[in-house]
Amino acid sequence: MYKESSITCKNCTCRWSNFDNLKEEQLELINASRFQAQFKAGEIIFKQGSPTSNAIFLTSGYAKIYIEGYDDKNIILAIVKPTRLIAGPGSYVDNRHHYSMAAITETTACFVDMTVIKKLVLENSAFAEGYLKDISGKSLNTFHKLVSFNQKKMHGRLAEGILHLSDDIYESPKFNCNLTRQELGELTGMTKESVVRLLKEFHDENIIKMDDRVIEILDKNKLQKISISG
């Protein structure tokens, strides 16, 4: 772990938007308590079941957040990139992580002591409200995932997944998703074999272009239709 002296929470360009609600000395408190760490692709950042001692903020790179279910089957809840707070809902329930996090590219992250965050929640109600907004939004995402997994068929879920990666995560019609077929399956609720078959199908129908892990959306319109109807 190291801390770059030049960058602080005050001038950081990729800090959590809710930090805007903090007063200077509160921000300084965060800055003083934080540690930075670097992870290589594939490395685990924290494990489900471990204590939620820190809130985590990515400062560079991409990571996956995933629930480890029964017999080694994972569900990827989200692909995350800088700016987003990562502090599992367990922080305010049982102080345990209810999902794991691993880097999918080289990644740097700030660790902030959770007791400091909780202290600021009690001291600064605008910050508390920001936290509520944050967790509420994530809740809605989980609802969406529940409905999608439950009611859409594979084609629809994969189309939705690709659109999500393109629109929300990599913000480009062509992107390296950094995910194995297995992981794409964990993101969209299907087996790796099904992912392979459907990607090929989409490829053959000129809806996407697939080259290893680089996906290019060729017919976004069609993909959206599949996403809705499937």
Partner DNA sequence: TAAACACATTGATATATATCAATATAAATT
Partner DNA sequence: AATTTATATTGATATATATCAATGTGTTTA
| Tokens 């794991």 belong to residue | 100
Contact yes or no for 172/199 (Cβ under 8 A): no
- Binding track, positions 138-167, relative to DNA; x by CB under 7 A: ---------------xxx------------
| Tokens 């987003």 belong to residue | 84
> Is residue 53 close enough to count as binding a second copy by CB under 8 A?
no
Choose one: 9-17, 85-93, 129-137, 196-204; the region binding DNA (CB under 7 A): 196-204
- Binding track, positions 112-131, relative to a second copy; x by CB under 8 A: ------x--xxxxxx-xx-x
Interface residue with DNA among 191, 220, 222, 224 (CB under 7 A) is: 191
- Which residues from 135-154 bind a second copy, rule CB under 8 A? 135-140, 142-143, 145-147, 149-152
| Tokens 């509420």 belong to residue | 136
CA dist 204 → 182, 199, 210, 218 (Å): 21, 8, 10, 11
Helix then strand then coil, in percent of the chain rounded to 5, is: 45, 25, 30
- Given strand 54-60, what is the order of strands in its sheet? 35-39, 107-113, 54-60, 85-86
136 binds, among DNA, a second copy, none (CB under 5 to 8 A by kind): a second copy
Q: Which residues bind a second copy (CB under 8 A)?
A: 67, 69-70, 73, 75, 77, 89-93, 98-99, 118, 121-126, 128-129, 131-133, 135-140, 142-143, 145-147, 149-152, 189
